[in-house]
Structure 1
Amino acid sequence: MEDRDTVLGKALAILRAFGPADSVLPLAELVRRTELPKGTVHRVAGDLVHHRLLDKTAHGYRLSGGLFELGLRAATERTLLELAMPFLQDLYERTHETVHLGVREGHEVVYITKIGGHRQAKAPSRTGGRMPMHCTALGKVLLAYAGEDEQAAVLTGPLERRTPHTVIAPGILRRQLARTIETGVAYEREESTPGLLCVAAPVLKPDGRTVVAAISVTGPVGRFRPESHETAVRAAAAALGSTLARRGR
């Protein structure tokens, strides 16, 4: 959590007050969410507007394009996305279902990109968004290849039940993670969102044990059979891993 005694901490608290569904937030709502004094929020928000991190509108404040520009300069994620995009596009052309690229940050999956067509299933994922690892195929892959300490931290912590199908029993999740190592894929079956199925595979370093990212394909119940896309997802992840290894050399 931010140190709100510093100017930077106050600025981060204001920026992080915006949720995925928020376009504009009034000053009063920023005060409520940050629990900072009104005068402080007004002053710091004004500085953020000056530096193009927020925009001032007639109804309040919104995140500015300056944040987008800074995000695009994140070297690791940018390079990963640039190298991954041809493989993700090929995977979409093969499946015509929603394709994701994600990385682990803490106990969550961060979605680096999302590719979907006109018939893509309605999903909570979004580029730059986060989801818990235990209820997503991407997350299970990333967690399976994480260290024992990271696994223990997730499995012994609170596991949110997002749907009636969410697996919250640590023992079952451990078995699923072990199975992921054996097969090279992980599944989600309506565990993050009702009506969604997903299969994911790891992007590994040459040692075959260190995970860099994960790729998944997602589709709706009734139309999508994740098992039928195992080979395609594995191939895309392996090809990206090989490309990253060559780039590293």
Structure 2
Amino acid sequence: MGTESPTLDLLERLAAAPDRMTFDALVRQVGLPPNVLRGRLKQLVDRGWVDARPADGLDRATFAIGVAALRPGSAFLGGDRAVRLAGPVLSRARDQVDESFRLVRLDGTAIVCLAGREATHDLVGPVVGKRMPAHGPASGRAILAHRSRAEVEAILDQGIEAHTVDSVVDRAALFDELAECRARGWAYERGQMVPGVGCIAAAVPSTSGPVTDAISCVVPLARLTDDHAEEVAACVLRASRDLATALQG
């Protein structure tokens, strides 16, 4: 974590944490003196950016991102043209194959979910705002397949993490999967990010710059037969093309 923007460092640490954090854990991980951290936390708690429980006695509280943090995220989503246009595209795709669809975007070494439409049997739930390493999910690989080898190498140099026993963490195997994605037109993974869940994704074509977005479909493995995978892949490709066309309009 940097020292030039400690308040942002604090918010980013809380946003990335899988669970609520104690005051002592924040002291260790953010690197601020306790008195300084206590003052910053009080300001953020008072303005709703951080949630403290119990609210009195910060040293004994646990902390998480507060509801005020939704404001900039909502402003971004409301102003992003791809997100606005993706809504009807994702809804139509979901209704065609009765599966969950997402719009994701490459952000540094990760992908972030910007929009989603969930099926009734969805096993993952709403994930807008969730970040995942770009090399892991099919949606990230669908985007990386359109980037140069040097760009992908730079991302992989930041670390390759296994999320399940089925995760692919060998660099050569990852490049093989990217080559398969380019040849096939869509990326595919089964249980590599979430046990029992597969994903099929296709990049959203771009004529104005590098490919940054992808549309993915998340399917419980119990439903992901070979025939259904082909049906989903066709739907994902159609949705990605539909969004690209809408963006050009």
> How many Å apart are 1:115 and its aligned residue?
2.3
Partner of 2:199: 198
- The aligned counterpart of 1:39 is 35
Write the letter of the residue equivalent to 2:191.
Answer: E
Partner of 1:183: 184
Secondary structure at the aligned position of 1:218 is classed as strand
Could you tell me the TM-score, scaled by structure 2's length? 0.85
Aligned twin of 2:23: 27
Tell me if structure 1 keeps the 8 A contact 2:103–2:215. yes
Q: 1:63 — aligned with what? A: 65
CA distance in 2, matches of 1:149, 1:200: 22
Deviations 1:188-234 (A, max 9, x none): 11111221111001111137x83131001111112123232111100
Task: Name the SS for the 1:150 alignment partner.
Answer: helix
Give the Cα separation in 1 of the matches to 2:218 and 2:17.
20
TM-score computed with the length of structure 1 as normaliser = 0.85
What number of residue pairs does the alignment pair up?
239
Indicate which of 70, 82, 85 corresponds to 1:83: 85
Q: CA deviation at 1:100?
A: 1.4
Matched residues, percent identical? Answer: 26
Root-mean-square deviation over aligned CA pairs: 2.4
**How far has the Cα of 1:108 moved from its partner?**
1.2
* Partners of 1:26 and 1:157 in 2: CA distance: 28
Find the aligned partners of 2:77 and 2:152 in 1 and give their Cα distance.
27
Give yes or no for contact 1:206–1:242 (8 Å, CA) kept in 2: no
Q: Aligned partners of 1:174, 1:79: CA distance in 2, in Å? A: 31
Kept in 2: contact 1:143–1:177 (CA 8 A)? yes
Correspondence for 1:229 among 223, 227, 232? 232
Shift of 1:146: 1.8
Q: Secondary structure at the match of 2:204?
A: strand
Instruction: Mark the runs of 5 or more structure 1 residues left unpaired by the alignment.
Output: none
Moved more, 66-75 or 104-113: 66-75
Query: Residue 115 of structure 1 aligns with which residue?
Result: 117
Greater CA deviation, 101-110 or 142-151? 142-151
Paired residue type of 2:186: V
Gapped runs of 5+ residues in structure 2? 55-60
Structure 1 residue 49, shift from structure 2 partner: 3.1
The answer to whether the 8 A contact 2:77-2:83 is kept is no
Using the TM superposition, give the Cα deviation of residue 152 of structure 1 relative to its aligned residue in structure 2, in angstroms.
1.7
